[in-house]
Amino acid sequence: MAYATETATPARDNPVSFFPDSLATATARGMTLHTPKITGAQGRPVIRQLDEAAINRIAAGEVVERPASAVKELVENALDAGASRIQVDIADGGKTLIRVTDDGCGMTAEDLPLALSRHATSKIDGSDLLDIRSFGFRGEALPSLGAVGRLTITSRAEGDAAQIACEGSRLSPVKPAALTRGTVVELRDLFFATPARLKFLRSDRAELQAVTEVIRRLAMAEPLVGFTLRDVTGGEARTLFRADPASGDLFDALGSRLASVIGRDFTDNALRIDAERDGLRLQGYAALPTYSRGSSAQQYLFVNGRPVLDRMLYGALRAAYFDVLSRDRHPAAVLNLIADPQRVDVNVHPAKAEVRFREPDAARSLIITALKSALTGAGHRASSTVGTATLDAFRPEHVRVYQMDRPSPASFARAFAFQAPQTLEGFAEAPQASTFAPPNEEKAQPHDEQPKAHPLGAARAHLHENYIVAQTATGIVIVDQHAAHERLVYERLKRQQAETGIRAQALLIPEIVDLSPTDAARLLDAAPALAEVGLTIEPFGGSAVAIRETPAILGPVNGAALIRDILDELADSGDSTLVRAKIDAILSRMACHGSVRSGRQMRPEEMNALLREMEATPLSGQCNHGRPTYVELSLHDIERLFGRR
């Protein structure tokens, strides 16, 4: 490695001087600090046109990062071809074999060589790059795969089937093949032409999990298409994932697909989302707050059916739940944002996982508003998994279960009559059989508190001065009185604040905060939203800002620390709910101190009044921290605990 100008270069301009080792030492250790340039006769770098193989390998480095990337591109091509069933076979985590078979429209023998040419596509004509209505449009996937692997395409559109092979960007002649319909794309020895990339791949198991996740996301995006994923390592096919085509309308088909992909627990505890605003539409399912997860693994977002990983959209999802979940819990949701393609730019990254909205505020506002409205409309509803967890805690490890039908009232009467004690000499006469019969429900319950009349039933007991036991038409409800009343008071305080507004406290001396120009611009863009929660910020020359007012409810605040926390949140998600969260935290503490405490004995009318208010208050199914306020157990489940079912 030669550096002809090293001696004449000052130390501050010499790249080698920034390293602790000398050039000789670095070279001896095998370190390459610079790549030598190709120079001409006068020592200037020469601009050269790269050959087609090098261009394809460079493009492949952007499009195909790992086997999962290749699977994604090939399956999306099959979906664009109108396939109704797609089968994916992989071996060794996709490193040695990826085969995608579909029943789509196929390609002719004349199309095959063109399909392996860079930037050749049937998805767009190039006249309008903002009117993209398909998964693929770049025309880079197939030539990129052919540049780094051994690619074979067999397809049939009309007439006879044809096959073409590509290895290291070298095309073989098209030849006849046998295929009934559709296309089969087989990729072997991925990255054989770029062996350095193989070193960056993870284990076969990790790559297999990544491929499975890609198929799961695409299966949720297209519920009317059947998907099958098989591992054929060692020659024996093992089905890893299967989702048959769903039927019915949009929500029925999507619900059925989500039940098979995510699980029945999610669909049983999710709310249907269908909202439209400003020309945007949001559809899908969002889980109840009490079905929260420990990570964001069950958050799936789509834009026009395309799986995306967009920071702004995930931030909007988190903002919609921030008032009903603690910071260490995450909501679960599957949402598709539908927009005119002219308002969404998907040509941002070769992997097409990122998008840009023309009106990002409109998209964010729709997600937050739609989810908050759905959660509020759910009222006091809590997830069924709460009751299941309770039953699991009750149930011993080994329970003998036997079938037993629930007797009718008449059977009860005869049984009690048979069990009635006989009259003995010196004792009073035994009661009549009717005395031991189950009391009539009308007589047993107060006439104004029938269990069937209310979702949360009628209070029947108060245990440990904290838990209300209520009888419903189909079981029992156990309510944590403090958690439930805390939520009720909290919602009442928020309603009062919404009616009167958030009062701002003007600072006698404005607090000046020096920021970088970028941070100052970002903060001032958010100033109108911050003013709505009582934080007034104005420019103060250069890149400094002045804090004029702060929310009165917060009391004395460290303005500089608050501003920097807000900036961190703006950089992370594009929006800040920090001030709102601080205000709500104070209201939550006020609600905690103003609610019924544990240990206070409640009268029956107080317990029933609490139940009625819970039924009328949105989000009363969980406390201010996202924990359930009540547990519902069905009579069927209770009988199972005693082996009666």
Predicted local confidence at residue 450, as pLDDT: 61
Relative to beta strand 299-303, strand 333-338 is: parallel
pLDDT tens per residue, range 432-476: 443 334 444 444 444 445 655 788 989 999 998 889 999 998 889
If 0-12 CB within 10 Å is exposed, 13-18 middle and 19+ buried, where does residue 450 land? middle
The 3-state DSSP class for residue 475 equals strand
Dist. CA 100–CA 566, nearest whole Å: 47
- For every residue of 151-171, DSSP letters joined together read EEEEEESSSSEEEEEEETTEE
Span 346-392, pLDDT tens digits: 777 666 677 888 888 899 999 999 999 998 888 777 666 666 666 56
Query: In this predicted structure, what is the pLDDT of residue 188?
Result: 94
The single-letter DSSP state of residue 131 is: -
pLDDT at 645 over 60: yes
Please report which confidence band the pLDDT of residue 579 belongs to, taking 50, 70 and 90 as the band edges: confident
pLDDT higher than threshold 80 for residue 178? yes
**pLDDT at 351 (0 to 100):** 66
Spatial contact of 501 and 534, defined as CB atoms under 8 Å apart: no
Answer positive or negative: Cα dihedral of 555, 560, 565, 566: positive
In tens, the pLDDT along 293-322 reads 888 889 999 999 889 888 889 988 988 888
644: left (phi over 0), alpha (psi -120 to 50) or beta: alpha
Contact residues for 284 (Cβ-Cβ < 8 A; gap 6+): 254, 273, 302, 333, 334, 335, 336
Q: Report pLDDT digits (tens) over 47-88.
A: 777 776 676 666 666 668 889 999 998 999 899 889 999 999
Exposure b/e, 535-562, CB count within 10 A at least 16 = b: bbbeebeebebbbbbbbebbeebebeeb
Between 155 and 392, name the one with better pLDDT: 155
| Contact (Cβ atoms closer than 8 angstroms) between residue 614 and residue 620 | yes
pLDDT in tens, 43-52: 677 777 777 6
Whole-prediction pTM:
0.69
Average pLDDT over residues 207-216: 94
Q: Domain boundaries in the chain?
A: 1-48, 54-243, 250-378, 451-645
Give the pLDDT score at 432: 43
* pLDDT tens column, 246-300: 988 889 999 999 999 999 889 998 999 999 998 999 999 999 888 888 888 899 9
What does the alpha-carbon distance between residue 81 and residue 103 come to, in Å, rounded to a whole number? 8
| pLDDT reported for residue 155 | 95
* CA atoms of 179 and 575, how far apart (whole Å): 53
Query: Is residue 175 helix, strand or coil?
Result: strand
CA distances from 178 to 98, 114, 175 (A): 20, 21, 10
Give the pLDDT score at 244: 94
Tell me phi and psi for residue 295, to 5 degrees. -145, 180
> Facing residues of 514 across strands?
544
**Taking all residues of the chain, what is their mean pLDDT, rounded to a whole number?**
79
- Nearest alpha carbon to residue 183 among 209, 204, 199, 162: 162
Tokens representing 553? 């409810």
Q: Which pLDDT does position 57 carry in this prediction?
A: 66
Residue 161: is its pLDDT beyond 90? yes
pLDDT-derived band at 336, boundaries 50, 70, 90:
very high
pLDDT of the residue at 23: 40
pLDDT at 558: 85
Torsion sign (Cα): 227, 231, 236, 239: negative
Residue 627 backbone zone (phi > 0: left; psi -120 to 50: alpha; other: beta): beta
CATH 1.20.1280.290 fits 451-645, yes or no: no
Name the percent of the chain lying above pLDDT 70.
Answer: 76
Q: Give the orientation angle of helix 67-80 with respect to helix 204-221, to 10 degrees.
A: 20
CA distances 460 to 54, 436, 645, Å, are 78, 21, 25
Query: At a CB cut-off of 8 Å and minimum separation 6, what does 164 contact?
Result: 112, 113, 116, 152, 153, 171, 172, 173, 174, 175
Q: What pLDDT does residue 486 have?
A: 87
Dihedral angle computed from the Cα positions of residues 198, 203, 209 and 213, in that order, rounded to the nearest 10 degrees: -30
- Report the side by side order of strands in the sheet with 504-514: 504-514, 544-551, 536-539
Is residue 160 a contact partner of residue 107, using CB atoms and an 8 Å limit?
no
Of 35 and 388, more confident: 388
The matching CATH number, chosen from 3.60.15.10, 3.90.1570.10, 3.40.1390.10, 3.30.565.10, for 54-243 is 3.30.565.10
* Residue type present at position 324: V
> Which of these, 546, 547, 625, 623, lies nearest to 581 by C-alpha position?
625
Position 560 scores a pLDDT of 86
**CATH entry 3.20.20.10 includes domain 250-378:** no
CA distance 492 to 477: 24
Higher pLDDT, 40 or 378: 378
SS3 call for 102 = strand
For residue 379, give the amino acid letter.
G
- What is the structure's pLDDT at 360? 87
pLDDT of residue 394: 56
Give the C-alpha separation, 147 to 160, whole Å: 27
pLDDT surpasses 70 at 399:
no
Mean pLDDT of 553-568: 84
Q: Is 637 left (phi over 0), alpha (psi -120 to 50) or beta?
A: alpha
Could you give the 3-state DSSP secondary structure of residue 627?
coil
- Tokens 């100008």 sit at which residue? 5
The size of the chain, in residues, is: 645
Instruction: Please write the tens of the pLDDT for every residue from 75-131.
Output: 998 998 899 999 999 999 999 999 999 999 999 998 898 888 876 666 655 555 566
pLDDT of residue 567: 85
**How far apart are alpha carbons 464 and 453 in whole angstroms?**
27
Pairing assessment for the beta strands 182-188 and 504-514 based on DSSP bridges: unpaired
Residue 19 pLDDT exceeds 50? no
The average pLDDT across 497-523 equals 87
Shortest CA distance to 467 belongs to which of 458, 455, 477?
A: 477
Which residue in 164, 163, 167 sits closest to 146, CA to CA?
167
- Alpha-carbon distance of 387 to 290, in angstroms, equals 11
pLDDT score recorded for residue 444: 42
Q: List pLDDT tens digits, range 586-643.
A: 777 777 777 777 788 888 899 999 999 999 888 888 887 778 889 888 888 888 777 7
Beta-carbon count within 10 A of 444 CB? 9
Check whether 556 has a pLDDT greater than 60.
yes
Give 5's pLDDT tier (boundaries 50, 70, 90).
very low
- Return the higher-pLDDT residue of 485 and 379: 485
